[in-house]
Structure 1
């Protein structure tokens, strides 16, 4: 299974504030192993630029400290899973812990309704 996990960076560790990060690490994972790590500078920050930039670079998942609801919804619209509340660590440690299921997260926003199984948030009045 291939994933491309994007992590906002400040220096070489996770930036606690997604919108203020200096760069993004894109970590390619195949069969639960890191195969490649690319650091890219994002475009100038404006509302919505970072999620679009990350999605355009092929990310399947984002691991971040904190993120505004607008960014989360832009990622979800692009079919990118969002995991928040990650500690300030290096991208390699974050991804290895994530793969191993050991990463402590406060929230994750995964779109499990993509197949349209009909359960979810449907209220009939």
Structure 2
């Protein structure tokens, strides 16, 4: 069994659009898989989204507190990256395009989304 977290807009869930901002997403969709079959979908509001600073670190704690050990995300802030590393949450890079949670999960299940060190997902890292 594995639990995967995906930042999402508004109400979250499989039919919601993936949110491009980890710490500022509206909600997290947590998907429990057992032998690549969905056994549970849970949506948790991102209470860190409105924080003036530290939203990424707090969001990482939300992911951890919901037992997810994998996160599919397009970009992270540096503090979120450090927090996820310290919590031993594996990160996978989502495509930087508008995509539904269920379609992103399908890409993951087909092996088209690879594990990516969180430090490689830091915003602006590849622009240096």
Structure 1: where are the runs of 5+ without partners? 111-125
Q: Distance in 2 between matches of 1:8 and 1:92?
A: 12
Structure 2: stretches of 5+ with no match in the other structure: 11-15, 119-128
More helix per residue: 2
Larger Rg: 1
Cα separation, 1, equivalents of 2:98 and 2:74 = 8
Higher-strand-fraction structure: 1
1:33-112 equivalent positions in 2, closer than 5 A: 33-45=37-49, 46=51, 47=54, 48-86=57-95, 87-103=97-113, 108-109=116-117
Whether the 8 Å contact between 2:8 and 2:25 is mirrored in structure 1 is yes
After superposition, the CA RMSD in angstroms is 1.8
The runs of 4+ residues in structure 1 deviating greater than 4 Å are none
TM-score of the superposed pair, with normalisation by structure 2: 0.74
Shift of 1:95: 1.5
Alpha-carbon distance, 1:83 to partner: 1.5
Aligned residues: 107
Contact 1:5–1:61 at 8 Å: present in 2 too?
A: yes
TM-score, structure 1 normalization: 0.76
Following the alignment from structure 1 to structure 2, what is the Cα–Cα distance between the partners of residues 70 and 44? 13
SS of alignment partner, residue 101 of structure 1:
coil
